[in-house]
Every structure is written in C-alpha cells, then in structure tokens.
Structure 1
C-alpha cells in the first residue's frame, strides 16, 4: 500500500509541475471558466439564432422582389402545321415585387414578439453564466479542500507510524501485549487506505477543475474574502424577485405570449397586398408592366383560426403562471441557500470547539498512555477523533465559502460583470445591432462578418 501511495504521489506531483510557475487565484479560475465554457458558447449561439429571428421578422415587412427568366425551343411537324419554319425559339424576362400593405398589424406584432424572445434568451444566457461561474468556485474550493484532506491523512499516517513504533518498543519491554501492536498495525493499514482514498478524491477534484476551467489546477492561492451579501434574508429575496435572470426571462416570455395572442387575432382580419411587375417577351420584343392591389380575407378555415387564437390564449395564461412560479422558485432558492450558509457558519464554530476539545483529549490520552494508564487503542481512537474533527471543520469552511456564492447566484448577481473579473465579456447587443435591420450586403453586413470571424477565432 505504501509503495502504491508513493507512485500515486509521484504521478500527482508530476501533473502539477508545469503549473507551479505561477499561482492561480480564484479570479483566474473564474476567468478561465468564462472563456473556455462550451455551455456558454452553445447558449451564445442560441441567442444569435434568436437575433436572426428578429431580423427575419423585419425582413417580412419588406417587399419581396423576384426575377424570372425563361427560354425554350420547339420543333414543329411540317405535315400538320402551316408554319414556314420547322422550329422556333422563345424567351421571356419578368421582374415582380409583392408587399403586404396591411394585415391587421401582424408584421409589426411579429417583430415585437421576436424582440421579446431575444430579451428572454438573453436572460437565459445570464443564468447559464451564473451556473458556469458557480461551478468554477465549487471546483476551486474543492481542490483546496481535498489537498488539505490529503495533508491531514498524511499527518495521520505519520502519527500512527510513530504509535506503532512506540507500541513495538513498549512490547519489547513488556509494557503492552502483542494485541496492542496488532491494533497499531491495523490502524496503520487503515490509514494507508484512507490516504489512498483521499488522494483519489483529489484526483477526481482535479479532473472536475479541468472540466470547468479548461486546465488542471496548479498552485492555488488562498481564498480571497468572499463578496458581500445583504444583511437580511428579506433583502436578498427582494433583489432576486426583482432581477433574477429566471424572473426576467419569464417576464419577456409573458410579453411574447401576449403578442402571440394579438398576432392570432389578425387572422380574422383582411389582408391588403400590392404587387408590381415588368416583363418582356424576347421573341416578339413586346414588354409590359402593371400594378395591382389585392384585398383578401379568409371566410372559413374550418375552425383553424379560432383554435390558433385559443391556443395563443392558453399559452399566455401558461406564461403568466410560469412567471408567478419563477418568482416562487427564485424566492425558495434564496431561502435554501441562505439557510445552508447559516448551517455552514454554525458548523464552523462547532467544528472549532470540537477540534480544540479533541486535541486536548488526544494530548491527554497519549500522555497517560506513556504512564501506563491508557492503552494503545485509546490513543488510536483519540487520534481518529481528532482527525475527524479537523476534516469536518475543513468541510464546513469550504461549504460556507461556496455557500456565499450560492446565495449570490440565487439572487441573480453571480456574473462576470458583478464580480469585476476583468475579462472580455460577451456583448449581446453587438450581434443584434448588426442583424436587426436584416442586412444583406452593406456596412452592417461587413460588421456582422467581423463579429462572426471574431467568434470563430
């Protein structure tokens, strides 16, 4: 077992050597997570797709211009035709434009609904950003925790090794029996196994850190002071209910659903459209042009329009209920995170007292054992109690630190901007502004090309 631990320690040490040149801070980990997150990239692409939906809605308000050219050749049978030529060619050119002049406001309503969906998707992206940053905090703290647990296990192994040596010495002089020596040997084997398990957990934590930040952890600096939180739970809930991205997302979904109802209502109204065309027969050289207006209205659609309207109304009611539920959910999440933070704080204080008491007990039992008043088993049990107390305190401190960021995330404030990470952040307005007018080839189109190239890089 000890040989395995030496090999494992060598491998773990070799893995971190390249990163020892510069210590990593929590801010570094958060910045790396933000820049390397595939989840953020995915949802940023989803937002760009929503931006394009708004551009499509804008394009639907414009005329549609079509160009058609045709040509042909025909062979005639002279036995059944009086034409002088036995073959003839023909061709035509046509340019036409159609535009919906009035459709009960459907076009503008569709544009407003698309914009509401853009804002909803932006809020969803902010919530994903919070998840990514919270995972980075958790991964960073967990690596440090597991490193400290490994150090505790290594210290425990050294102490038990000393106890085994002392038990053997005392056995030689007849102060203890072979049973005491066997107990110490069993405790040493258990300590070896526990150290291997702790090093395994550290390796797992390192893999999680790499998955979140894109790289293995090097030398990690001590944790900085956590961000400030509101003084009371009610204040935290008020912030969350007012601006959490889930609430904001639900609000925009209600707006989009309301617009969908208005769009469905336009199906019962007439549509006025206009068209213009220019054409020329290349065979005869005769050209023509014309303008036309068309007023149409569906008299009966078999109940489809009425069903679509009722469906939109149901969607609106669902969105409104979803908004109310989002507020409830966000408030509950804040309360849970706040409670977990209080529990962690209480655990830290209790853990400190437990460590102090366990340390005194261990020192006393070991001293009494040297005088023959305690057995080797008493010493080993006292050492195990001290180890458990120290590990519990470390876990409570880690939980408390992560708990602060969990409260911050539950309030909707765990963002790169709020944390002042100092990294280039995704600008949701840049792409939207480049495509909102549905450009084809223009200065805006060139700006869009630059944005897409930057994203690709």
Structure 2
C-alpha cells in the first residue's frame, strides 16, 4: 500500500481545487489595471470590422434616400460640341467647265436643357418613402449585428478566463501527481508497495500531462479568438462582474422582446417597404407629366452665320401596352409583400422562442453550477477520507488517484459552469434586444445612425454649407 506524504499531497490538490476562487482573489489583489469584461466589450465595439462594414451599408442606404429625393428636383444638363467638316464638291457646267466648292467648315455649339417632373401619381415620392423605410430596417439590422459582436466578446473573455483557470488547475494537478509518483517510487524501493502501484502513478501522471497540453492548446485558441474579437491580446483579466440585471418573469421578457427586438423591427420595416413598392408598381400605370426647356447656340467659325434657339414645353406620357410587364410588376410586388409578412411572422415566433430558450439555458446553467459546488464539496470529503485510509493501508494507490481525478473533474465542471452561466445571462439580454453598448452603458462614443442621414437626406450639393460639412465627415471616415 502506498504511504502518502503528509506534505504536498492533499494541500496541493486543495490549492488546485480552489483555483477558481483563488485565482479570482489573486487577480483582484494583484493589479488594479486588469482588464474587465466592460473593457473587452468596448474593444469589440470600437474595433469590429463587421460593425464598420454594416455602418457603411447603412450610409449607403441613407444615400438611396438622397437619390430618391433628387428625382423630384429639376434636372439640368449641358452639352457642347465642336465639329469640323471637310471635303469639296465638284460640278460640271454645260460649257464643260468644272467648278469646285469647298465643304470645309468649323461649327461650335453649346446648349443647356432642363426638365422637372410635375406629376407621376406619386411614384417617385413613394420611392423616397420606401428608401426611408429601408434605412430604418438597416438601422435595426445594425443593432442586431452589434448584439452578435458583443455576445461574441463576452464568450471570448470568459473563455480566456476559464481556460487560464484550467491550465492552472492542470499544472497544480501535475505537480501533485509528480510528488505522488516520487513517493510511490520511494516506497517501492523499500518494498512497501508493488510495481503496479508505481505504474498506476505513472499512468496518472502521463494523463495529467496530456490534459495540461490540451488545456494549454485550448487557451491558445481562446487567446486568438479574443484577439480577433477585441482587437488586442488579453492581458491580466479581472473576474467577471455580477450577472446583469434580468427580468425574473420570462413572459414579461418575451413581451418586451416581441415589441423591441431589432430583428422584429427590421422585419416590420421590410413589410412597409414591400407595401410601398406595390403602390409604386400601381402608379407606373398612370401618366407622367414633365416640364422641359432648352437653350442652344451654334456658330460657323468660318463665316458670320450663327444660330440661337430655345424651346419650352410640357410632356405627357403614359403606357398603352407593354406586353403585360406592368401587371407582372404589380403581382411580383404583392408576392414580395406576402413573403415579407411571412418573414415577419416567422421572426416573431423565433424571437419569442429564443427568449424562452435563453431563460431555460440560464436556469439550467444555474442548476449546473449549484450541482458542481455540491460535487466539489463531496469530492473533497471523499478525497480526504481516501487519503487518510491509504495512510492506514486500507486504500490502494488507484483509489487515491481516482479520488484525485474526481476532484479535478468536479473543479473543471465548476469553472465551465461559471463561464456558461455568464454567457447564458448575456444571451438572455441578446434575446430581448438589450445587449447593446447603450443598454450596457459602455464607455464608448456611441455610433449615431441618424447623424449621417441628417446630412444627406436632403441631397445637398457639394458647394452648399451642408455639402461641405458632409465632405468633412467623409474625410474623417476615410481616415478611420
């Protein structure tokens, strides 16, 4: 029977078993400069390429409003030309003489034309309204993506914290098993244990080394994920703060989500866009009335001939027969509207389901963490008892190693349960649409989706004061 050393064995394992709480206390005491979960969320918000991409897409949607508004304004165009004719013309007279006339000439012309849409049954205005609804839908899509980015940051942060604790736990376990192997070898040399006891200790040590290597590899992957999401390599990380405030009633949370979730609002705006597109398609059947005007001037540079002219008019046009294309466009718009309505219904169900699933997962993780605590308590008592019994010869080396492994597994489960509990809590926030930089009160300059829209919605020309302000904003965006 193996005679365990009184120093190192149980104490070392207890240090490993308490690593989750010990590391947390150590981190809090070691450095006030340790990164917090809020710091990680700020980094993800400020460095996310996905957010930058979708902010740019939102600005493109803002410009579509300006384009639609511009169609309601006068359109001015100019033209200028310079033409050179060359050649000659020969004629034969009755007398037999031939005369040659030069056709060479140079003509310059310049003109300006204007047109203004007077009436089109509101089709162009409906297009502008549809563009505005698209902007609102895109804003909600941006919020949804922001939630995804922040939840990924939460996961990345907690993974690094958890895997660092795993590595510490495995290292402590490896040191303990190394001491136990030495003790087994010493007792084998004096005949107190058999070769089997030594082999069992060697096997457990090899398994511990494998577990440490796996934990270190997982930590490297977690660090890479953190760097990708947050934009920097993790330094010293503080333990996560208290869980976010959540509605204790799942039905209240579900009702809130159905009203405010960005995915649902996005779907609602897309239905509005589809409705407007039907009205636009129907308006295409009506006539269009436009006012036109032009001024032209031309001059033959080789002579004194010149021409000045101008026109003013009103043009009325409308479809007579287009092979059924207009009717098909109306039916297509109606089908798209029906599809968006179906999508809205599906999104509503999905949002409601996600809230219920998130709360269920949170409840399960709380129960799992509580069970892990009970498992650790029981595993510690069992290990201490097995260890003491082994000193009396009532337990084998394998019994002690099994008890150690059970305690290690219990502590590992608790670390995983702690991380999973936090992720589940923030997933609840995401399911209700409240996992945003604004809702979390992050210390960041919040992106204002209406700021750029307010600059471009009236389609300013570059020479105007608003256009010059817009140019400065664009230059700042390019620098970033």
User: Does TM-score exceed 0.5, indicating one fold?
Assistant: yes
How many corresponding residue pairs?
Answer: 438
Deviation at 1:396, TM superposition (A): 0.8
Matched-pair contact (CA < 8 Å) for 1:355–1:389: yes
1:290: which partner in 2? 311
* Residue 221 (structure 2) pairs with residue 204 (structure 1): yes
2:191 maps to which of 174, 191, 197: 174
Deviation readout 1:72-128 (Å, 9 max, x if unpaired): 122241414989655222222211111221011011000000000000001000001
1:122: which partner in 2? 139
2:210: which partner in 1? 193
Matched-pair contact (CA < 8 Å) for 1:36–1:213: yes
Q: Gaps (5+ residues) in structure 1? A: 1-19
Matched-pair contact (CA < 8 Å) for 1:104–1:270: yes
2:349: which partner in 1? 328
* Residue 297 (structure 2) pairs with residue 280 (structure 1): yes
Deviation at 1:310, TM superposition (A): 0.1
Deviation readout 1:401-451 (Å, 9 max, x if unpaired): 111100000111100011111201211111111111112211111111121
Query: Which whole-Å CA distance do the structure 2 matches of 1:72 and 1:144 have between them?
Result: 77
Structure (1 or 2) with the larger CA radius of gyration: 2
1:7: which partner in 2? none
Q: 1:196 to 1:98 in 2, by over 3 A?
A: same
* Residue 295 (structure 2) pairs with residue 268 (structure 1): no
2:238 maps to which of 218, 221, 225: 221
2:257 maps to which of 240, 257, 266: 240
| CA RMSD across the alignment | 1.5
Query: Which whole-Å CA distance do the structure 1 matches of 2:332 and 2:101 have between them?
Result: 65
Paired residue secondary structure (1:422):
coil
Instruction: Say which is worse superposed, 129-138 or 167-176, in terms of deviation.
Output: 167-176
1:37 maps to which of 42, 48, 57: 48
Moved over 4 A (4+): 81-86
Query: Which whole-Å CA distance do the structure 2 matches of 1:297 and 1:78 have between them?
Result: 47
1:62: which partner in 2? 73
Deviation readout 1:373-397 (Å, 9 max, x if unpaired): 0000000000000000111111111
1:231: which partner in 2? 248
* Residue 473 (structure 2) pairs with residue 451 (structure 1): yes
Deviation readout 1:238-257 (Å, 9 max, x if unpaired): 11110101001001001100
* Residue 321 (structure 2) pairs with residue 300 (structure 1): yes
Q: 1:303 to 1:365 in 2, by over 3 A?
A: same
Matched-pair contact (CA < 8 Å) for 1:160–1:184: yes
List aligned pairs for 1:343-354, cutoff 5 A. Answer: 343-354=364-375
Q: 1:21 to 1:407 in 2, by over 3 A?
A: closer
Deviation at 1:372, TM superposition (A): 0.4
Q: Gaps (5+ residues) in structure 2? A: 1-30, 93-98
Q: 1:62 to 1:189 in 2, by over 3 A?
A: same
Paired residue secondary structure (1:332):
helix
